[in-house]
A = this chain, B = another copy of it.
Amino acid sequence: MSRFWSPIVARLTPYVPGEQPKISNLIKLNTNENPYPPSPRVLAALAEAGDEGLRLYPDPNAEALKSTIARYHGVRPEQVFVGNGSDEVLALAFMALLRHDAPLRFPDISYTFYPVYCGLYGIDHCIVPLNEAFEIDLADYAGTPGPVIFPNPNAPTGRLVSLAQIRALLQQLPDEVVVVDEAYVDFGGESAIALVADHPNLLVVQTLSKSRALAGLRVGFAIGHPELIEALERVKNSFNSYPLDRLAQAGAVASFEDEGYFQEMRAKVIASREWLIEDLTGLGFSVLPSAANFVFARHATRDAAGLAAALRERAIVVRHFRLPRIEQYLRISIGTDAQCDALVKALSEILG
């Protein structure tokens, strides 16, 4: 604490991202990165954009990227907002759309950045527990006023809510903004973008970090009614006119232009997930159904923190949250088949 700090600073509890270890040869299954590289077309586009043109500012409105995303998802460009990773898109959504008199609601076990954003923007919020099966029950949100945000599939559980359930919530709360955070949707969910045309209160947020293997490029986007997008643009243009550099814009466009590669990579991750779940179950884990590129697993007898530490000794990093209700779970990102094999082998040894 310093006398020079704005008063809010001392009250913040910043988000702590998953570790980015500097050791090489590590099997890194802790931050849900894609085990496969981005499309070769992305790398080609980056090589082309990394030229003398970098002396010039990027397009502040990222029009080429917005048009590409709009075309890809069958919406109009004015329904698309882009930002520096979905974390920035979410931050701006919290400020622009989720601060109202009635408290914002989100699940107790969910993306741990949500309460951090609330702290940053002074947003009153109300935590809604997952049910016993670790599912989001949207009926729990329908009866009372206030905006809603939840990841679908949820993180770190991987569990999915159906579009029918989301549609019902949107109808029950027509005057409240509902944000569906679809960071992992490409690994097994159906996007709520299909509901945007009928529901002006719906904002869908996605990222290129996971299914498009571009965590290092920092691009996320939101799709919704133009009025919601306008709110995001107004805040963005009061914060930073150029959040996406020239390379990020060019690489992101190229990623959407390589549909074949995208489908192939995501199918590979889904296939690996399915056999990993089988193998983990065979080792005595109960694994939640996952629609994401990670699994959330609890061993019948062994302590999760101990397992995570033992894996780390074998140069395998997974994520363990010391949080109520989930402290006996491990969140394991889906790696390549070789990485998943190594994980299963290491766990077999550890479990004796």
Contacts and interface: CB of A to CB of B under 8 A. Distances in A.
Interface of A: 2-9, 12-18, 20, 28, 31, 33-38, 42-43, 46-47, 50-60, 84-85, 87-88, 91, 95-100, 116-117, 119-120, 175, 177, 200-201, 209, 213-218, 227-228, 230-231, 233-248, 251
Nearest to A247: B247
Given A4-B228, A239-B88, A36 B20 contact: no
B216 A56 contact: yes
A96 B228 contact: no
A15 B98 CA distance: 22
A35 B55 CA distance: 7
A174 to B, nearest CB: 10
B59 A20 contact: yes
Contacts of A31: 57
A286 B7 CA distance: 45
Q: How would you classify the secondary structure of chain A's contact residues: helix, strand, loop or mixed? A: loop
Contacts of A12: 234-235, 238
A280 B52 CA distance: 29
Contacts of A13: 238
Contact of A56 (B20, B53, B84): B20
B119 A57 contact: no
A236 B15 CA distance: 9
Contacts of A60: 17, 20
Given A231-B6, A245-B216, A240 B99 contact: no
A6 B96 contact: yes
